[in-house]
Structure 1
Amino acid sequence: MKLGLQLGYWGAQPAANHAELVAAAEASGFDSVFTAEAWGSDAYTPLAWWGSSTERVRLGTSVLQMSARTPTACAMAALTLDHLSGGRHIVGLGVSGPQVVEGWYGQRFAKPLARTREYIDIMRQVWAREAPVTSTGPHYPLPLRGDDATGLGKSLKPITHPLRPDIPVMLGAEGPKNIALAAEIADGWLPLFYTPRLADTYNEWLDDGFARPGARRSRDDFEICATAQIVITDDRAATYEAIKPFLALYMGGMGSEDTNFHADVYRRMGYAEVVDEVTELFRSNRKDEAARIIPDEVVADSAIVGDIDHVRSEVKRWEAAGVGTMLVSPGSVAELEQLASVI
């Protein structure tokens, strides 16, 4: 089992200790550092900033929102960071949801699976640099065609020769079709709310992708990097209470009331009634109540909280389920170093 530092995205203000956490992760043998984005801070700027002080850890995004950048712009950012880091970059991508895609980026959300396939194909053309980049669309036609185009667009190769012609791409996927797509066309999967209890179900979806003609990877060389809450403590109840507001936000406040992919994850775990109640309370601005009604078992299903023996046992269970890297978010250097020593 490898450890990755998940810095996430900023809240109202930048975190004050990320420089210290990144340095400690590098010194403690962590495999990777990941950043994220929502509708505030972006993922690439902090990753490049903090990554510039490292020499060994891989630098990943978990995840970039596809609608924030055209596929060629994303490929440019990736090849740039890959050069600067000496070939340590991982591109983690996700489609986000219609609330953010249409409300924040002003882009169309339709056909997310087809858009993902087309997006990654274009990026890989850029990095391969074998021919001018083209795409027949329909989502990202290159060169642009149609009545609103000048007709002067020209297919181009990147000026800069990529350090690596094939930068790893991982998908932040939650639904069965998207997870199968990750297994088919990507190098890894970045689950947010993973539970080893459903490993057999996940494996069915992944096997669907691995079995498709032209699948890029097999189970042997496909990475599962799961974001995980791991807290070593003797006060499990207090930690559960601290995690519940985060779960309430994702269950009840992300996306729209009828379209929330994070909530759907918990429905597939078997917690549909909890999700419905949390959503109703959260959207009635009763957020504290929404958090309080989440049962401890829901938290425990996708988090590891307890003493050292419990944490070690659970990490082994996640590893046996197929997880190769756990992306953790310790609050301090001391917590990070303790996790490194235990895991």
Structure 2
Amino acid sequence: MFRGFLADGFAARSGDLAPVERFEVAASVPVSLDDDVERAADHLRPWIALYVGGMGAKGANFHRNAVDLLGYSDAADEIQDLYLAGRKEEAARAVPTALVEDVALVGPAEKIAAELPRWEASAVTTMLLQADADAVRTVVGAAAATGLLTR
């Protein structure tokens, strides 16, 4: 979907602008490294609950809208209702693991390495890793091992 939006925007440009190939799409990608996927996801659930349920207003939340586009409208309704009712821990528990996995890299190093090609297939050209130094080294090592750093 975003590739289509970008293509439409590039087609509408005029003037002497940088080539499309030099356009970067940067995404902040949280990383939670743990041998247990659920435990890794648990570290990020409160953050996702805040963005989905507590940012903006009930009818005007960019982050919530992005989660809707990913197919999590029902979960987002519950998260937002709980968060706005002040039940933040319950809101965090309502964040599905699949949602965490769609917006972050979570779990053991092998799983994260296996998921990197999915990110490369997206419109994202630059990943801004939100992680501690060990997790960053793990992701960079996995990207190097799969050849993603040379592309």
TM range (shorter): 0.7 to 0.9
Contact 2:40 2:107 in 1 (8 A): no
Aligned-partner Cα distance in 2 for 1:256–1:305: 29
What is residue 146 of structure 2 aligned with on the other side? none
Change (3 A) 1:213 1:338: closer
2:77 counterpart of 1:257: no
Aligned-partner Cα distance in 2 for 1:236–1:280: 26
**Counterpart AA for 1:261:** F
Contact 1:229 1:302 in 2 (8 A): yes
Instruction: State the identity as a percent.
Output: 33
Change (3 A) 1:297 1:243: same
Contact 2:67 2:76 in 1 (8 A): yes
1:144-163 matched pairs, under 5 angstroms: none
TM-score, with length taken from structure 2 = 0.84
Q: 2:25 aligns with which of 210, 216, 224?
A: 224
| Deviation at residue 213 of structure 1 after TM alignment | 3.5
Aligned-partner Cα distance in 1 for 2:48–2:120: 23
What is residue 311 of structure 1 aligned with on the other side? 112
**Counterpart AA for 2:34:** T
Aligned-partner Cα distance in 2 for 1:237–1:263: 22
**Counterpart AA for 1:202:** F
Q: 2:14 aligns with which of 208, 211, 214?
A: 214
Aligned-partner Cα distance in 1 for 2:141–2:104: 19
Backbone CA RMSD of aligned residues: 1.7
| Deviation at residue 278 of structure 1 after TM alignment | 1.1
Aligned-partner Cα distance in 1 for 2:13–2:44: 42
Aligned-partner Cα distance in 2 for 1:251–1:294: 9
Per-residue Cα deviation, 1:260-307 (whole angstroms, up to 9, x for no partner): 111111111111111111111111110111111111111111112123
Q: 2:43 aligns with which of 231, 242, 245?
A: 242
Q: Name structure 1 gaps, 5 residues minimum.
A: 1-200
Q: Higher Cα Rg: structure 1 or 2? A: 1
**Counterpart AA for 2:141:** S
SS of residue in 1 equivalent to 2:26: strand
Aligned-partner Cα distance in 2 for 1:298–1:329: 17
| Deviation at residue 237 of structure 1 after TM alignment | 0.6
| Deviation at residue 218 of structure 1 after TM alignment | 4.3
Higher helix content, 1 or 2: 2
SS of residue in 2 equivalent to 1:211: helix
Higher RCO, 1 or 2 (CA under 8 Å, sep at least 6)? 2
1:1-343 matched pairs, under 5 angstroms: 201-214=1-14, 216-331=17-132, 333-343=133-143
What is residue 148 of structure 2 aligned with on the other side? none
SS of residue in 2 equivalent to 1:223: coil
Change (3 A) 1:213 1:324: closer
TM-score, with length taken from structure 1 = 0.39
| Deviation at residue 239 of structure 1 after TM alignment | 1.1
Per-residue Cα deviation, 1:107-138 (whole angstroms, up to 9, x for no partner): xxxxxxxxxxxxxxxxxxxxxxxxxxxxxxxx
Per-residue Cα deviation, 1:40-60 (whole angstroms, up to 9, x for no partner): xxxxxxxxxxxxxxxxxxxxx
| Deviation at residue 320 of structure 1 after TM alignment | 2.5
Contact 1:210 1:218 in 2 (8 A): no
How many residues are aligned here?
A: 142
Aligned-partner Cα distance in 2 for 1:253–1:268: 18
Aligned-partner Cα distance in 2 for 1:212–1:324: 21
Per-residue Cα deviation, 1:201-251 (whole angstroms, up to 9, x for no partner): 111111110100316344311111111122332111101111111011001
